[in-house]
Amino acid sequence: MNMTSIKTFLLAGLSCSATGLAQAQDAKSLQQLSLAATCASCHGTAGRAVDNASVPGLAGMPAVYMIEQMKAFKGGTRTATVMHQLAKGYSDAQIESLAAYFAAQKK
Amino acid sequence: MNMQRRGLLKATAGLGALGLIAGCAMNKVGTPNQARVLVVGGGYGGATAAKYVRLLSGYKIDVVLVEPNDAFISCPISNLVLGGSKLMADITVPYTALGSKHGVTVVKDMVASIDSQKKVAVLASGASIRYDKLVLSPGIDLMWDSVAGLKEANDQGRILHAWKAGSETAALRRQLEAMPDGGVYALAVPEAPYRCPPGPYERACQVASYFSVAKPRSKVLILDANPDVTSKGPLFKKVWAEQYKGMVEFRGQHKATAVDARTNTVKFEVQEDVKADVLNVVPRMRAGAIAAQTGLANANNRWCHVNFLDFESTAVKDIHVLGDSIQVAPGMPKSGHMANSQAKVAAAAIVAELNGWEVNSAPMLNNNCYSFVDAKNVIHVASVHEYVAAEKTFKTVAGSGGVSPGPSELEGSFAWNWARTIWADTLG
């Protein structure tokens, strides 16, 4: 199989999806999806929490609120069991990218 | 015709109908040029990779998952089956949603061999599947030779490891239930690296939790090949000293070399023999056999070196290795959460490569590992890992991560929530 034909096929229809996860349109949007996927193991795929979850779903969370909370975790003004330790692993630019992604997801 | 033979024929017929057999011009959606990712192994790494290649490609890349088991059985939480607060059904998740929700073709079979030149995998049933990219997530194989007599004792069901959640988990629980009060449960722990660093210590807590209620005169002995507790050490030691005072004893520098199934005795390189009523010996481990067989186990002939940008094997092109099988980066545990996290980096890289896009030069991973010290109280260790281009490896982000101050029920509720969520993220 040659790369051109794969590319043509793949690029033909990056539009809708069964679960509504935003689609990668290019390398940059794929990177954002990949970064956001690091949150999914605890907060749910595409930020959609499981039923009766004890942690918040992130899908549809307003970006300003999420950035504030992540900075509060990082700075130590919001306490947590785990999140204050994980938040310190993400840069401000990464947090802004995560916030933009999750704000755009359907709950 | 016996059932096994009939099952094989049925599986092969199914593959034929889907056009998976190499040489078929068309696949199931009738596009001869559609890229195919073949995922070998449906654990935390493989199942996540299968789902995320589908998601991230907008369902445009064909994904086939080959897995021998009927359903996913989680190693994380499986110690609670030994403690008695969970049942096997609680840690078992079907593979059906990968097919019905995400269009992954799940094939119940084993990969017998991989031809990395022709890019074809041959299954135990005889069918073959061609691939453009192969994701290998075979988990661990046990190094039976590291403990003389263990394989035979295990075959007889006498001495179990229960380090792959499944029938041995249930069997070890039955041994604990059958043990008289006042008996000794001994757990032999191999030298690091092994799957799930805090797993043995959580297991000791779970068995002690059960004994505290059901057989309070009994003992839990941890016979560890390592000099000290390898994960969450101060936290576990405090629990043993306080909650399980007089019941749990930790002995470091105990490297098991042999077992005698007749007397239920374990022998060590240096220390004296230990006889137990229930003897649970976990041998050393290495990458699943298919990895070595395919020429991927290039780290001490035991683990697989990967390029950490996309988890491609450093030995064989277009084969990406995930999870417990890899030679880890500094501070990277062999855990289910880590395999799930690695799988997403690999899936994104594979989608980028098949699209002809640049692969993410700054991937991130995280890990959050909960340990139940009894039925309700939990401690954790968490970390965030960033790719460091100059060193071509992942390193933990300075200042991030950490452990619990002590066990709590609040973390217990988060731990169970974590399990339900990561199972859904991996398989749902």
Domain for residue B193, yes or no?
yes
Number of domains in chain B: 2
Residue whose tokens read 């749990």: B248
Tell me, what amino acid is at A1?
Answer: M
Q: How many domains does the structure of chain A reveal? A: 1
A79 touching chain B per CB within 8 A = no
**What are the Cα distances from residue A39, in Å, to A26, A60, A102?**
21, 14, 10
Using the structure block, give the residue that is written with the tokens 């999420």: A66
At A22 the pLDDT is 61
Same domain for B126 and B175, yes or no, is no
Q: Which residue of A has its CA nearest to B100?
A: A18
> Of B251, B283, B315, at which residue does a domain stop?
B283
Number of other residues whose CB lies within 10 A of the CB of residue A103: 18
In a domain, B321, yes or no: yes
Collect all residues with Cβ–Cβ distance below 8 Å to B327 and sequence separation of at least 6: B299, B303, B304, B305, B306
CB contact under 8 A, B360 and A31: yes
Average pLDDT (B101-129) is 98
Q: Are B339 and B323 in contact (CB under 8 A)?
A: yes
> Which pLDDT tens digit goes with each residue over B265-311?
999 999 999 999 999 999 999 999 999 999 999 999 999 999 999 99
A24: confidence class by pLDDT, cuts 50, 70, 90 = confident
Alpha-carbon gap: A86 to the closest alpha carbon of chain B (Å): 6
- Could you give the maximum distance between any two Cα atoms of chain A, in Å? 55
> Within 10 Å of residue A16's Cβ, how many Cβ atoms?
9
A80 has a chain B CB within 8 A of its CB: no
Same structural domain for residues B154 and B135?
Answer: no
Distance CA A32, CA A23 (A): 10
Please write the tens of the pLDDT for every residue from B13-22: 445 445 454 4
Asked whether residue B275 falls in the same domain as residue B207, the answer is yes
Cα end-to-end span (Å), chain B: 36
Cα B336 from Cα B78, distance rounded (Å) = 12
Q: Note whether B425 contacts A23, CB cutoff 8 Å.
A: no
pLDDT in tens, B128-181: 999 999 999 999 999 999 999 999 999 999 999 999 999 999 999 999 999 999
**Is A5 inside any structural domain?**
no
Q: Indicate if B204 and B98 belong to the same structural domain.
A: no
Are B169 and B108 in the same domain?
Answer: no
Q: Tell me the chain B residues in contact with residue A55 when contact means C-beta distances shorter than 8 Å.
A: 414, 417, 421
Residue B308 is assigned to a structural domain of this protein: yes
Q: Which of A42, A28, A59 is nearest to B415 (CA)?
A: A42
Residue B397 lies in a domain: no
Candidate from A9, A44, A82 with C-beta closest to B60: A9
Largest Cα separation within chain B, whole Å, is: 68
Indicate which of A28, A82, A92, A95 best probes the interface with B, i.e. most B CBs within 10 Å of its own CB. A82
Q: What is the pLDDT of residues B54-94, one digit of tens each?
A: 999 999 999 999 999 999 999 999 999 999 999 999 999 99
pLDDT of residue A3: 42
The Cα-based distances of B74 to B45, B170, B321, B335, B382 in angstroms read 12, 13, 20, 11, 19
B182, B226: one domain = yes
- A42 to B422: CB separation less than 8 angstroms, yes or no: yes
Q: Examine residue B418 and state whether it is found in any structural domain, yes or no.
A: no
Contact, B52 vs B98, CB < 8 A? no
B100 at A interface, C-beta within 8 A: no
Boundary residue ending a domain (B234, B266, B283):
B283
Could you tell me if B418 and B77 are in contact, meaning their C-beta atoms sit under 8 angstroms apart? no
Give the rounded percent of residues in chain B with a pLDDT score beyond 90: 92
Residues whose CB is less than 8 angstroms from the CB of residue B406 and which lie 6 or more positions away in sequence, other chains included: B235, B238, B379
Closest Cα in chain B, distance from residue A79 (Å): 12
Nearest-CA distance from A84 to chain B in Å?
A: 8
pLDDT over 80 (residue A10)? no
Q: Is residue B413 part of a domain?
A: no
Neighbours of A106 (CB within 10 A): 12
Residues B314 and B229 occupy one common structural domain: no
CB contact under 8 A, B354 and A10: yes
Contact B11, B64 (CB under 8 A): no
- Does A85 contact chain B (CB < 8 Å)? yes
Domain termination site, one of B283, B313, B340: B283
Q: Which of A17, A15, A21, A14 has its CA nearest to residue A58?
A: A21
CB contact under 8 A, A17 and B55: yes
Task: Give the domain range for residue B170.
Answer: 144-283
Residue B23 CB burial class (10 angstroms; 0-12, 13-18, ≥19): exposed
CATH number for the domain spanning B157: value is: 3.50.50.60
**Cα dist from B82 to B85, B143, B163, B261, B348, whole Å:** 8, 23, 12, 21, 37
pLDDT at A52 over 70: yes
- State whether B15 and B125 are in the same domain: yes
In this complex, is the C-beta atom of A31 within 8 Å of any C-beta atom belonging to chain B?
yes
Measured between beta carbons, the chain A residues lying within 8 angstroms of B53 are: none
- Inside any domain, residue B312: yes
The pLDDT tens digits for B311-354 are 999 999 999 999 999 999 999 999 999 999 999 999 999 999 99
In a domain, B157, yes or no: yes
Q: Tell me if chain A has a CB within 8 Å of the CB of B360.
A: yes
pLDDT, chain B, mean: 93
Q: Is residue A1 part of a domain?
A: no
3-class DSSP state of B1: coil
Locus of tokens 């073709």? B105
User: Per the domain annotation, does A92 fall within a domain?
Assistant: yes
The answer to whether residue B363 neighbours chain A at the CB level (below 8 Å) is yes
- Contact (CB<8Å) B402/A3: no
What was the pLDDT predicted at B9?
38
**Is residue B168 located within the same domain as residue B88?**
no
DSSP helix/strand/coil, B159 = coil
Pick from B414, B422, B423, B427 the residue to mutate for testing the A interface (most A CBs within 10 Å): B414
Residues of chain A found within 8 Å of residue B348, distances taken between Cβ atoms? 24, 30-31, 33-34, 37
CATH of the domain at A82: 1.10.760.10
Mutant choice from A3, A33, A85, A88 vs B, greatest count of B C-beta within 10 A: A85
Residue A75 lies in a domain: yes
Name beta bridge partners: A76.
Answer: none
Contact B379, B391 (CB under 8 A): no
Alpha carbons B305 and B313: distance in angstroms, whole number: 6
- Residue A16 belongs to a domain: no
B-chain residues near A13 (CB < 8 A):
58, 60
A69: in domain? yes
* Torsion of the alpha carbons at B197, B336, B64 and A59, rounded to the nearest 10: -160
- Tell me which residue of B56, B415, B94 sits closest to A45, measured CA to CA: B56
Q: Are residues B120 and B45 in the same domain?
A: yes
Q: How far apart are CA B229 and CA A57, in angstroms?
A: 35
Chain A interface includes B424 (CB < 8 A): yes
Q: Are residues B10 and B27 in the same domain?
A: yes
Q: What is the pLDDT of residue A21?
A: 63
A11 inside domain: no
Q: In sequence order, what are the residues at sequence separation of 6 or more whose Cβ sits closer than 8 angstroms to the Cβ of residue B213?
A: none
What is the extent of the structural domain holding A62?
Answer: 25-103
Q: Are residues B277 and B188 in the same domain?
A: yes
